[in-house]
Amino acid sequence: MSSKTTHTNLIKTEAKRLGFLSCGISKAAFLEKEAPRLENWLNNNMHGQMQYMENHFDKRLDPTKLVEGSKSVVSLLLNYFPSKTQKDITAPKLSKYAYGTDYHFVIKDKLKSLLQFIQEEIGEVEGRAFVDSAPVLDKAWAAKSGLGWIGKHSNLLTQQVGSFYFIAELIIDLELEYDTPVTDHCGTCTACIDACPTQAITEPYVVDGSKCISYVTIELKENIPTEFKGQLDDWMFGCDVCQDVCPWNRFSKPHNEPLFNPHPELLDMTKKDWEEITEDTFKKVFKKSAVKRTKFSGLTRNIKFLKD
């Protein structure tokens, strides 16, 4: 068995031990297919006010410009599908990924452990860990690494577990054995396109970010435009509609990461509780949550918009 095979097996076994759903590996190289797609998306202003998407165009497409001497992109998936959801079906809704501790912290710790393991077991390996916070095209790398295909809603999909998982990467200067992409299994299904409350999926595989409810409730910092009145489908933070209606998500299984479990009070909060939420309750319920990103003022802005 070659050292490349041995190292690849070691990394994948450790990733599983750390709780990752799956691990795929790609050669660190320029993403040729993604370049024109990203350029068109930006030129059509589908990123709305997410100005950061315009930055580091070359680094987004070429990991060797991001991590000097990099040879491999190790892509990892971590399940966040909850076993229970909000009880009051009339209450403003929260995207499932934001129920527990902010995934950035949870995954960063696991990635650091994986990198440390690689360095201890294999030797001098340099690299960096990425969790949705740097110019890395997560979904493109995960698809290239055979972890799934990018669906018509632009999320990564797998036949075994659907799409309720986070994607993260280690970009390292170690040559490994590389995986191959899987085929697209969306077929003629248009469930996500038909169900999107704001018609943000403008055509199969293209999402206008500036129309997406997740963008409107999280990224947009100013007042929500009146054209979204009655279109937010009661979402106060994020949106899961395109994933909820996807037939592949009937295979989603609850995660087993204790840190992703919600604050005890969260799922019990009624519509009235949300409409009367105080800053103290916000700080308590969302102490280490990704919801802090929108701040108390942002969340109450969203809840008020749904109510008015």
* 25 and 75 assigned to the same domain: yes
* 168 and 205 assigned to the same domain: no
Residue 154 neighbours by CB distance under 10 Å: 18
CATH number for position 148: 3.40.109
* 215 and 125 assigned to the same domain: no
* 213 touches 197 (CB < 8 A): yes
Concerning whether 132 is annotated as a catalytic residue, the answer is: yes
Residue 50, in any domain of the structure: yes
Candidate list 132, 234, 244, 308, residue with the active-site label? 132
Residue 182, in any domain of the structure: no
Residue 67, in any domain of the structure: yes
* 98 and 12 assigned to the same domain: yes
Domain boundary (116, 140, 172) is at 172
Closest alpha carbon to 302 in 281, 284, 280, 277: 277
Domain boundary (106, 141, 172) is at 172
* 73 and 123 assigned to the same domain: yes
Residue 184 neighbours by CB distance under 10 Å: 14
CA–CA dist 182, 147 (Å, integer): 7
* 33 and 155 assigned to the same domain: yes
* 138 and 234 assigned to the same domain: no
Q: What is the torsional sign of CA 212, 217, 222, 224?
A: positive
* 162 and 202 assigned to the same domain: no
Residue 48, pLDDT score:
76
Residue 150, in any domain of the structure: yes
* 168 and 45 assigned to the same domain: yes
* 13 and 130 assigned to the same domain: yes
Question: If you ran DSSP here, which 8-state letter would residue 259 be given?
Answer: G
Least confident of 32-41, 99-108, 176-185, 196-205: 32-41
Taking CA atoms, 260 is separated from 107, 199, 288, in Å, by 11, 30, 10
* Strand duo 149-150 + 156-157: pairing: antiparallel
Residue 245, pLDDT score:
98
Region 118-141 average pLDDT: 91
Domain that holds residue 77: 3-86+94-172
Residue 256, in any domain of the structure: no
Q: What is the pLDDT of residues 34-47, one digit of tens each?
A: 888 888 887 888 77
Closest alpha carbon to 239 in 213, 260, 276, 275: 213
Residue 254, in any domain of the structure: no
Q: Is the pTM of this model over 0.85?
A: yes
Model confidence at 1: pLDDT above 80: no
* 200 and 163 assigned to the same domain: no
Residue 116, pLDDT score:
97
* Strand duo 127-130 + 165-172: pairing: antiparallel
* Strand duo 201-203 + 22-27: pairing: unpaired
Beta bridge partners of 165: 79
Residue 177, in any domain of the structure: no
Closest alpha carbon to 104 in 234, 256, 290: 290
Residue 180, in any domain of the structure: no
Q: What is the pLDDT of residues 148-194, one digit of tens each?
A: 999 999 999 999 999 999 999 999 999 999 999 999 999 999 999 99
* 18 and 136 assigned to the same domain: yes
